[in-house]
């Protein structure tokens, strides 16, 4: 009893010191005082996709840009974009296709040879944009997640092959409870008989979403907010939708267009609602994951921006003072985000399993 309270006290003191140390690094830089701190733009810049990995001030990792205009593919590094004084944008002229591209706010556009940059009244750019299939920050994050998953699961699979019948050892013993958790708590209760067919997809989705959520929380790794991109979550929800529809038995569709036990006059209301339900379930899956992760990132970034807002308005001392509170809240929010990372992966997998179960249910 005595030993536990002493350990708890030590943990408390160390966390406090740890959080105070980070205050030293949070002084607002006053070299570029021409541009005042815009919290909205900073937060949006960190949450959205980009063509480079911006680690800290001055440390940028340019990523390859792959664009396809009408006359062919162009592959170049993002660092090839140079500031064009006459236009005011970053431009790059390709050697192979001869096109000139310019970059504005995360998008690559084609520079028209005669008309230059065309904007309309509100300032949005009207130039044609080539097909942009670049390796952006989110794609790089997904590749990193794939590499991590291959490393973990190929190791685990190999150790299951070499250690047949023996007790699990090493990373095997860490992954086994998680894999069994997906099988026994998510797949078996929801799908019931015939759950083995869906296990590969459920396991992949669970670990993919969990690892990508966690990657977005690591600070200086580039802030790859992959699952906070609605395109990524849309594709994951699309997979669930396609697998549900392909594996759905006749009873599933009959329940939608002719729900049993419903009087005839109620059918014109019930059937559109049921059809809407077929589409709304994957859409809500997509929105839930996207909104949870993005909202968490925005809150974390807001707490960090608070320091700079106060420092701008009231001087650096106010920034220091606020940073204690801000760091404390950020630590708490990071713990919450760790829980949310696992929880959102669990809920996505569980709901996918539930939809598979409903689709493949035996008629009773």
Partner 1 sequence: MSLLSILLQAASSGMDVMGAGIGAGIAALGAGVGIGRIGGSALEAMARQPESTGDIRANMIVAAALVEGAVFFAIVLCLLVVL
343 binds partner 1 (CB under 8 A): yes
Contact between 350 and partner 1 by CB under 8 A: the answer reads yes
Residues 173-192 touching partner 1, rule: CB under 8 A, are: 185
Task: Select the span of 134-142, 143-151, 206-214, 338-346 touching partner 1 (CB under 8 A).
Answer: 338-346
The full 3-state SS of the chain, as one line of letters, equals: CHHHHHHHHHHHHHHHHHHHHHHHCCCCCCCCCCCCCCHHHHHHHHHCCCCEEEEECCEEEECEEEEEECCEEEEEEHHHCEECCCCCCEEEECCCCCCEEEEECCEEEECECCCECCECCCCCECCCCCEECCCCHHHHHHHHHHHHHHHHHHHHHHHHHHCCCCCCCCHHHHHHHHHHHHHHHHHHHHHCCCHHHHHHHHHHHHHHHHHHHHHCCCCCCCCCCCCCCHHHHHHHHHHHHHHHHHHCCHHHHHHHHCCCCCCHHHHHHHHHHHHHHHHHHHHHHHHHHHHHHHHHHHHHHHHHHHHHHHHHHHCHHHHHHHHHHHHHHHHHHHHHHHHHHHHHHHHHHHHHHHHHHHHCCCCC
Is position 48 an interface residue for partner 1 (rule: CB under 8 A)? no
Single residue of 183, 347, 358, 361 touching partner 1 by CB under 8 A? 347
What's the closest the beta carbon of residue 343 comes to partner 1, in angstroms? Answer: 7
Which of 44, 66, 199, 271: binder of partner 1 (CB under 8 A)?
44
Taking CB under 8 A as the criterion, the residue among 344, 349, 352, 360 binding partner 1 is: 344
C-beta of residue 131 within 8 angstroms of C-beta of residue 65: no
Query: Of 74 and 281, which has the nearer Cβ to partner 1?
Result: 281
Choices 63-71, 203-211, 214-222, 282-290 (CB under 8 A): range interacting with partner 1: 282-290
Tokens 């977005």 sit at which residue? 216
Stretch that binds partner 1, among 71-79, 141-149, 209-217, 283-291 (CB under 8 A): 283-291
Cβ atoms within 10 Å of 91's Cβ, excluding its own = 19
Select from 63-71, 96-104, 291-299, 322-330 the region that touches partner 1 (CB under 8 A): 291-299
- Taking the least distance from each CB to partner 1, the nearer of 118 and 283 is 283
- The site for partner 1, by CB under 8 A, has a size of 16
Q: Which of residues 24-43 bind partner 1 (CB under 8 A)?
A: 40
Nearest approach, Cβ of 222 to partner 1 (angstroms)?
23
Please state whether 46 falls in left (phi above 0), alpha (psi between -120 and 50) or beta.
alpha
- Binding piece for partner 1, criterion CB under 8 A, among 54-62, 146-154, 243-251, 342-350: 342-350
When asked if residue 358 is in the footprint of partner 1 (CB under 8 A), the reply is: no
Residue range at the interface with partner 1 (CB under 8 A); choices 58-66, 69-77, 269-277, 281-289: 281-289
Q: Kindly state whether residue 46 participates in binding partner 1, applying the rule CB under 8 A.
A: no
CA–CA separation, 23 vs 319, rounded Å? Answer: 9
Supply the minimum distance, in Å, between the C-beta of residue 193 and partner 1. 21
Binding to partner 1 by residue 333, rule CB under 8 A?
A: no
Pick one of 6, 284, 325, 338: the residue that binds partner 1 (CB under 8 A). Answer: 284
Give me the residues that bind partner 1 (CB under 8 A), please. 40, 44, 185, 284, 287-288, 290-292, 294-295, 343-344, 346-347, 350
């Amino acid at each position: 009893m005595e030993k536990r309270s002493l350990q708890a006290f030590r943990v408390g003191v160390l966390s406090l010191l740890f959080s105070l140390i980070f205050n030293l690094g949070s002084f607002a830089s006053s070299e570029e005082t021409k541009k005042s701190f815009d919290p909205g733009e900073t937060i949006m810049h960190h949450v959205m996709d980009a063509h480079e990995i911006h680690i800290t001030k001055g440390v940028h990792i340019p990523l390859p840009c792959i664009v396809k205009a009408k006359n062919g593919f162009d592959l170049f590094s993002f660092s090839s974009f140079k500031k064009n004084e006459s236009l005011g944008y970053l431009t790059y002229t390709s050697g192979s296709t001869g096109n000139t591209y310019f970059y504005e706010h995360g998008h690559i556009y084609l520079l028209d040879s005669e008309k230059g940059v065309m904007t309309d009244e509100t300032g949005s750019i009207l130039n044609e944009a080539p097909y942009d299939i670049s390796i952006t920050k989110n794609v790089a994050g997904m590749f990193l997640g794939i590499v991590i998953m291959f490393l973990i699961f190929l190791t685990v699979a190999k150790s299951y092959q070499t250690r047949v019948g023996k007790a699990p050892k090493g990373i095997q013993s860490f992954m086994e409870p998680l894999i069994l958790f997906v099988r026994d708590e998510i797949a078996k209760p929801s799908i019931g008989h015939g759950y083995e067919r869906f296990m590969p997809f459920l396991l992949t989705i669970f670990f993919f979403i969990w690892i990508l959520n966690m990657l977005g929380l690591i600070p200086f790794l580039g802030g790859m907010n992959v699952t906070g991109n609605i395109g990524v979550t849309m594709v994951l929800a699309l997979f669930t939708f396609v697998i549900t529809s392909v594996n759905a038995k006749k009873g599933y569709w009959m329940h939608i267009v002719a729900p049993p036990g419903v009087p005839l006059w109620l059918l014109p209301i019930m059937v559109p609602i049921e059809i809407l339900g077929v589409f709304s379930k994957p859409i809500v899956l997509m929105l839930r994951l996207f909104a949870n992760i993005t909202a968490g990132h925005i809150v974390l970034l807001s707490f960090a921006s608070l320091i700079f807002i106060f420092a701008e308005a009231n001087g650096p001392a106010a920034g220091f003072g606020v940073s204690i509170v801000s760091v404390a809240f950020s630590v708490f929010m990071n713990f919450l985000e760790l829980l949310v990372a696992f929880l959102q992966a669990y809920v996505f997998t569980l709901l996918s399993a539930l939809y598979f179960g409903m689709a493949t249910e035996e008629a009773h």
